[in-house]
């Protein structure tokens, strides 16, 4: 149950990403700066947190031992996650992007067969491919149904172009994030703390963020002070606090695919918090009856997932 609570708290801080990115877009900020500055600002925070006691050296050592894997899956988990997600923020309100992002709940379950578990059989350890947890998938489909209800009125009112550009990038992000997260958990094998693993992924993805930043400078010039400050806040709330909470929660249940799916489902809470943020900070319109009904279905699905996860722990 503790992992579920941490997951819900992480969804609260992750929601700031959708709301603040939308705010930056409305004020004319380039999505490239919103994406790259978040991780560039995150790096100093991590270095300060992990300063001393050879924490940083241990991260560097682990990366050197398996550089190719770390580089590939860090860029999948961070770059292919956040760049498309930020880009999509130009094509819809924060709660719509947050709602579409919940496809990651299904994605996290569908990528399960890509991983293995060590099972003891007659005194010998065997490497067995994980199976899709069907009950978790069914519960997640309830949450997905709620998400579709929330977006019904929006889907019927936007252009095909906006629908595609606001949907496809989020799908890419939805699969990239759990895949990169789980792969780096597998690579580190419990040798690194949550913050150390985040630092490793941030360092390995930093070349991509720097290149993206330079491209943004060539395309749009220097970002305005508002975007720089908002990106700094996103780096703290989402890059540090939310990522640590979520990675900590997934680390706690990383050996149990059913519990892991339950933790990943808590990210649907981002919709609730994004709706509230949109209303309070951006003066957005209150969701219609379909959106409100969908919200109730999402909350219902989260409660079922949490209850199911608690039973698995007993």
Q: Residue 119: beta bridge partners?
A: 126
Q: Which domain holds residue 307?
A: 2-313
For residue 272, pLDDT over 90 is answered with no
For residue 51, pLDDT over 80 is answered with yes
Count of domains observed in the chain: 1
For residue 308, pLDDT over 70 is answered with no
**How does pLDDT run across 124-146, given as a tens digit for each residue?**
666 777 777 777 788 878 878 88
- Provide mean pLDDT across the span 201-213: 97
The residues, any chain, with a CB within 8 Å of residue 210's CB and separated by 6 or more, are 36, 40
CA distance 167 to 186: 29
What are the angstrom distances between the C-alpha of 227 and each of 81, 94, 95, 100, 219?
A: 20, 16, 20, 24, 16
Confirm whether pTM is higher than 0.95: no
**How does pLDDT run across 53-67, given as a tens digit for each residue?**
788 999 999 999 999
What are the angstrom distances between the C-alpha of 214 and each of 47, 124, 185?
A: 23, 53, 31
């Amino acid at each position: 149950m503790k992992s579920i609570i941490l997951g819900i708290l992480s969804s609260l801080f992750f929601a700031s990403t959708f709301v603040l990115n939308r705010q930056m877009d409305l004020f004319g900020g380039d999505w490239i700066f919103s994406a790259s500055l978040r991780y560039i600002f995150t790096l100093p925070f991590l270095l300060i947190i992990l300063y001393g006691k050879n924490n940083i050296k241990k991260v560097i050592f682990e990366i050197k031992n398996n550089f190719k894997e770390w580089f590939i899956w860090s860029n999948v988990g961070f770059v292919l996650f956040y760049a498309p997600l930020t880009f999509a923020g130009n094509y819809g309100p924060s709660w719509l992007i947050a709602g579409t992002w919940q496809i990651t709940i299904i994605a996290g379950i569908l990528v399960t067969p890509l991983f293995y578990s060590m099972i003891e059989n007659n005194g010998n350890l065997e490497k067995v491919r994980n199976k899709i947890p069907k009950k978790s998938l069914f519960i997640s489909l309830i949450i997905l149904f709620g998400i579709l209800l929330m977006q019904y009125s929006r889907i019927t009112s936007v252009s095909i172009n906006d629908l595609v550009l606001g949907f496809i990038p989020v799908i890419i992000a939805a699969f990239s994030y759990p895949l990169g997260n789980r792969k780096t958990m597998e690579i580190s094998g419990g040798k690194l703390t949550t913050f150390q693993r985040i630092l490793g992924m941030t360092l390995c993805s930093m070349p991509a963020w720097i290149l993206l930043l330079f491209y943004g400078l060539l395309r749009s010039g220097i970002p305005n002070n508002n975007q720089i400050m908002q990106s700094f806040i996103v780096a703290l709330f989402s890059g540090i606090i939310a990522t640590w909470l979520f990675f900590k929660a997934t680390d706690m249940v990383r050996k149990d695919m059913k519990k892991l799916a339950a933790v990943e489902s808590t990210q649907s809470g981002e919709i609730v918090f994004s709706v509230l943020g949109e209303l309070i900070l951006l003066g957005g319109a209150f969701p219609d009856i379909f959106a409100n009904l969908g919200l109730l279905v999402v909350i219902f699905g989260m409660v079922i997932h949490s209850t199911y996860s608690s039973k698995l722990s007993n």
